Each structure stands twice: as structure tokens, then as C-alpha cells.
Amino acid sequence: MLNPIHKIINSSYDSQNVKSKILSINLRIDGLSFVIMESEIIFNAECYEWQNKDWEYATQQYKEVFSNNSIFKNEYKRVIVILNTRENTIIPIKYYDKSKETIVLKTLFGIDNFVTFSSKLKNEDAILSTAINNALNELLHIVFPKFDLFSYSSFFINEAINSSEKKGTVMLNIAQQSFEIINTKSKKIIAHNYFDFTTADEFMFFILSFIKQNNVDIESIQLLLSGKISMDSKIGKSLDKYFPTIKQLQKVSVNNKEAAFEGLKKYTLIANS
């Protein structure tokens, strides 16, 4: 049985009285986290992690968590599901064709057994098209009679665009062994990509390669960090060595129980606005 690695329960939380609250779930290929919120208050939250790079296996893990936790059997004001996947692509609206989404994503990622969903990016004439595994999609519809599905990347990209400066901004979302990176300038997308890494040196190689390929002036751009990254870690110190201007969007705090859910809380509030 899976056990959460992080868990918080508000002293005023009543599991029998949640119809006025929002259940928001973040699904990653290597884990799951959820928050139960009302306004900006987290009443209950849990985070699970596992080592995995396969959506079929991840779906079995989700199924176990959903089956063994009564939280997912309650009725909520709204259920929000945020899928954190790299299997998405940005398509200019003038080239977007709903009927060809599946072909485009299959060609780009070499995947099968999926359905697609999409969202309009703010301040851009572009669509983010995302793939969701068939088994996972079916599981969600079985567990939740009604839910709203979002791509984590859509929030990340929109946040990067809103934070963009005239001289240029590079924004990172750092996970356990992967990261999402976007280069923006004057609130326009220049480049967007994902990378897997196993060491800090490999991480920096991919970052600097992305910078070079996109002709980014490392001395003048602003580097924004999203995700759980300590500036005292080897990765943090390496970034500090190369980038003069760094801003952390999510502070790492071992004393703050809600730190592990800060990103999900922020994007839940945006999704519900």
C-alpha cells in the first residue's frame, strides 16, 4: 500500500462536509499530489512519489491511491485534475486542426493509446495540445463523475509569458529527474522544451545547450525557477555561477508544511478563477 511522503490536515477539516470545497489533483508520471481547498485555505493535502517513466504503471499507482482513500469518494464543489506531462506541443492557431491533433502528437512523441485535449495560451495566438493516456483517462472518468482537466504546462507557460521581460526571461520547472524550460521575450514565446537528466552536470549541459541554441544573452536575461530547488544544492550553485539574475518563484522551506503543495495551490487558484 502506498503511503504519502507529505501530508497536512487542517485542524478544522471535516471530511463529512466538503461539498463547498475544491479537490485539486496533480498527476505526474512519477507521483500524485492533491489538495482540498476552500478560498485560499488548504484543509487536507497529500503527496505520493514513485520511481517510474511509464504512464501505464503510473495509472495503476493512481488506481491504488484512489481506491484506498475515502477522500476520492466524496462529493466536492469542483474537481480539478492537472496533468503534468511532457507529451504536449505548442501549435500556432493558424496551423491548428483538431482532427489532426492525434497524428501530430503521435508523430512527435511516438506514442499510442491516448486521447488529446487542448487549451488556448494567454497573450499568444497558439494552442497547447496535450496527450493523456487512454487507461488514465478512463480511470479518471470512473473515479470522478465530473472533473475539469488542465495541462500543468499551460499554467507554467502562461506564468512565464506574464513574467517575461523585454531583455528576455528563461523559466525552469524542475522535477526529480527532468525539467521544463521556456524562453520568452517581451511576453512572447521564443522556445519551449523538456529534458531528462541524472546528474547536476547533465542538468547544466542541457540548460547551457538550450541557451546557446536560442542565442540567449545569459548576462542580461532573468532566470526564473519554479519547483523544489535549493540554491544550496549542486544544481542551485551551478545556476548561480552562470546566471547573474535568478529569482525563485517557490521558496524551499523544511519548516513550512505547505511548501510541497505551493505550486499546486497556486495553479488551483488560477484554474478556479
Domains in the chain (CATH in brackets) are 158-248 (3.30.420.260)
Distance CA 4, CA 78 (A): 23
Q: Average pLDDT of 73-90? A: 96
Q: Cα–Cα–Cα angle for 242, 243, 246, nearest 5°?
A: 145
Is 156 in contact with 141 (CB distance < 8 Å)? no
- Strand pairing category for 31-38 and 41-49: antiparallel
Please state the φ and ψ torsions of residue 116, each to the nearest 5 degrees: -120, 155
**Residue 255, pLDDT above cutoff 60:** no
Residue 242: burial class (beta carbons within 10 Å; 0-12, 13-18, 19+): middle
**Residue 96, pLDDT above cutoff 90:** yes
**Residue 254, pLDDT above cutoff 50:** no
Looking at per-residue pLDDT, the higher value among 271 and 176 belongs to: 271
Specify the pLDDT at position 256. 63
Identify which of 194, 190, 204 has the alpha carbon closest to the alpha carbon of residue 161: 190
pTM of the prediction? 0.91
Specify the pLDDT at position 135. 97
Three-state secondary-structure class, residue 235: helix
Q: Average pLDDT of 130-146? A: 97
Reported as type and span, the H/E element at residue 34 is strand 31-38
Is 207 in contact with 224 (CB distance < 8 Å)? no
Is 27 in contact with 48 (CB distance < 8 Å)? no
7-21, 104-118, 161-175: range with highest mean pLDDT: 104-118
**Residue 208, pLDDT above cutoff 90:** yes
- Strand pairing category for 169-174 and 88-92: unpaired
CA distances (Å), 216 to each of 115, 159, 191, 192, 199, in order?
A: 35, 19, 11, 13, 23
- Any idea how long the chain is? 273
Distance CA 131, CA 151 (A): 9
Q: Which amino acid is at 162?
A: N
Q: Average pLDDT of 203-211? A: 96
Long-range contacts of 66-71 (CB under 8 A, 24+ apart): 66/139, 66/143, 68/1, 68/2, 70/15, 71/15, 71/23, 71/34, 71/36, 71/44
% of the chain exceeding 90 in pLDDT? 77
> How does residue 16 score in pLDDT terms, banded at 50, 70 and 90?
confident
The counts of H helices and E strands in the chain are 7, 14
SS3 breakdown of the chain: % helix, strand, coil, rounded to 5? Answer: 35, 35, 35
